[in-house]
Every structure is written in structure tokens, then in C-alpha cells.
Amino acid sequence: MATKALTNNKQPTMILGIETSCDDTAVAIVADGRRVLAEHIASQDELNRLYGGVVPELASRRHLEMLVPVTEKVLRETDLSWSDLSGVAVTYSPGLAGALLTGLSFAKSLTLATGLPLIGVNHLAGHIAANYIDTDLEPPFLALVVSGGNSQIVRVKDYLDFDIRADTRDDAAGEVLDKIARELGLGFPGGAAIDAYALKGDPTALDFPRARLDTGEFSFSGLKTAALQWLRRNDLGTGELRERRLADFCASYMQAVVDPLIDNLRAELGASGYGTLGVSGGVSASRFLRRELQILAETTEIELHIPAMRYCTDNAAMIAAQGYFQLKLGSGVYPGDLDAVANLTL
């Protein structure tokens, strides 16, 4: 369905979005699925740094503390009241079960009190919907979602019609960056630190394996094991030498993560005939990956969309955006019995 048909009403349709699938407590209000009126994210990075990762129980408890103040802040910023809104969209899958439950329970309470419809949004559909924010992009297009939990190539046939063309068989791209970063003492999450080193190094210095699967799936766990073994067998040294070796190691590792993504995208662009690629998820912040995507776009003559950084990582604006299209198309609007599911696919 064309976007114009969805947005021709004089009054904008405003959706409150709630996202608590992992460690960010995020709330946003979005008009007509594309214009963000207000947004706020309470990050748990400080907490995660203390433990070297996300501790599910602690993440849920922090969501519980933050959901009310973050929502109040967003409402205050827009000066809107509940009667101005058309629905409450909330992530109900996939993610950490306890974390999802906090956001979903909160959303249910809001809809019970206000009478607004409850719109359950799949987190991955949300990542794809980030491509609609501040653009007039319409399906069909090809989407790459690369984050700490996902590595997927999806044909977005329509706002609610997805065909997963490639998925990871084991670890996600961001996950293998974070694991190696932790091993190197570069903090958590360490994708950005690996990326920064990778840009300074020689990507051909080390020959890491790339899994070539006939099925079109990705597999990154063999690469991660090979890199860990290399680190155990080799000394990076100290001082300037360490910096140089670290840069070469990260560049070679990053190239081995990015190559299968680009190869699969090239094949899928050819097979689908789609002229647009939308990229989202936290790993799309990688300048190394963006450089390769740019080359892909130029050589295949497709249009490349990468949302603003704050909409690539977990956020609630993307959930509100997807919620808007679901509400308009009459799908994914639930009675009060919607449950949180840890591992649903698209």
C-alpha cells in the first residue's frame, strides 16, 4: 500500500512506542510512522560495564525503575495528552524475556487506563521500520539488520510482509565483534572499538576463515574461534608495535565479518531485482562496513539507506513507526492477552 494513502488524513496519527527488549529503556512518540516528535532512551551502559555484559535480571529491574520517568519526559516534551494519541506500540519479541515483560506489562496498563489500542511489534520489524523515519521510503526494498543479536537479510515486500533470505546459523555479527573485543580488553560492547582499530589496519594481514554455506545462511562462530586461537598463539606485543598489530588483527577480523554480508547482499540484490537497500542495527554504525556498503551500492547501482545512528541502535521510534503501519493496515493490534516471546522470528 502506498504511504500517501496512509498519511493523507489531516490529523497526524501519533503512536507512543515502547522498547525494552534488551538493556535500553526507550520511549518515543512518532507521527504518521515517519516523524519523531519526542524520544528518550535510558541506557544501561554503565551497569553493563560493571559486569562486562547485560545481566538479564538487572536489566529488567532497571527497566521497571525507568519506564515511568522516561514516558513522562517524552509526554512533557510534546505537550500531548493521551487523547491525542492513536495507539501504544510495544516490542513483545524477540529479546530477553524478563526485559520484554516489563515493557509489555507497562504498555498493557497504559492501554487499559486510556482505552488506546495495544500494538505488539516484533523487534526485527522495528529495526526495518527505522528506515521509514525521516524518509519517504516505501516497500519493496531489501533490508540488512545487523546488531548484537541479529544478522539478517530480508526482502521487505510490504510494510508487514517479510521474506527472510539469510540469517545467522549461530552468532550474530555484533556478538562476535563484542566477544573478541572483550578478549582484547576493549570493553563492552566493543564493536565500535574494533571498528576504530580496523580502519587503521591492513585487512589482508591475517587470513581468517569465511563460512561459505550453500543455504544462504551466515555462520560466524568458526571465525570467532579462529580469532581466539590466533590470540592465544600469538603475542601482540606492547606499545606502538601492539597498536599496529592490533589494527591489522581488527582489520582482518572485520573484513571476515563483513565479506559474507556483502556477498549475500550482492546475490540477493541480483535475485530480487530490488533497487534499494536499507541497513539498520547497531553494527551499521561501523565505518568499515559502511565503506563496503558504499562500494556495493556504487557497483550495483542501488540506492543505499542507512538511518541516523540513533535509529540504527535499539530505540522506540522504530517501534512506534512499525506500530503505525500495523495499526493502519489492521494487523498486530492485540487484545490484552498478548504475551512476551523471547525468540520469535519475523
Return residues touching ligand KG4 (CB under 6 A): 22, 147-149, 174, 177-178, 189-192, 195, 281-283, 285-286, 313-314
Minimum CB separation of residue 265 from ligand KG4 in Å reads 17
Q: Return the number of the residue (125 or 327) whose C-beta is nearest ligand KG4.
A: 125
Q: Are strands 141-146 and 151-158 parallel, antiparallel or unpaired?
A: antiparallel
Q: How do the residues of the chain divide into helix, strand and coil, expressed in percent and rounded to 5?
A: 50, 20, 35
Minimum CB separation of residue 127 from ligand KG4 in Å reads 7
Minimum CB separation of residue 146 from ligand KG4 in Å reads 8
Give the three-state DSSP class for 159: coil
Minimum CB separation of residue 257 from ligand KG4 in Å reads 9
Q: Is residue 326 within 8 Å of 88, Cβ to Cβ?
A: no
Q: Return the number of the residue (47 or 80) whose C-beta is nearest ligand KG4.
A: 47
Q: How far apart are CA 132 and CA 17, in angstroms?
A: 15
> Which position's Cβ is nearest ligand KG4?
282
Minimum CB separation of residue 321 from ligand KG4 in Å reads 15
Sign of CA dihedral 75, 38, 101, 108: positive
Q: Return the number of the residue (25 or 86) whose C-beta is nearest ligand KG4.
A: 25
Q: Return the number of the residue (265 or 327) whose C-beta is nearest ligand KG4.
A: 265
Angle between helices 56-78 and 97-114 (to 10 degrees): 30
Q: Return the number of the residue (76 or 291) whose C-beta is nearest ligand KG4.
A: 291
Q: Return the number of the residue (31 or 194) whose C-beta is nearest ligand KG4.
A: 194
> What backbone phi and psi angles, to 5 degrees, belong to 161?
-120, 105
Instruction: Convert 126-161 to b/e letters by CB count within 10 Å (16 or more is b).
Output: bbbbbbbbeeebbbebbbbbbbbbbbbbbbbeebbe
CA angle 294, 136, 95 (to 5 degrees): 75
For residue 25, what are the β-bridge partners? 42
Q: How many Å from the N-terminal Cα to the C-terminal Cα in the chain? A: 20
- Which residues are within 8 A (CB) of 143 and not within 5 positions of it... i.e. 6 or more apart? 127, 128, 131, 152, 153, 154, 155, 156, 277, 278, 279, 280
Cβ atoms < 10 Å from Cβ of 196: 15
Q: Return the number of the residue (190 or 201) whose C-beta is nearest ligand KG4.
A: 190
Q: Return the number of the residue (87 or 190) whose C-beta is nearest ligand KG4.
A: 190
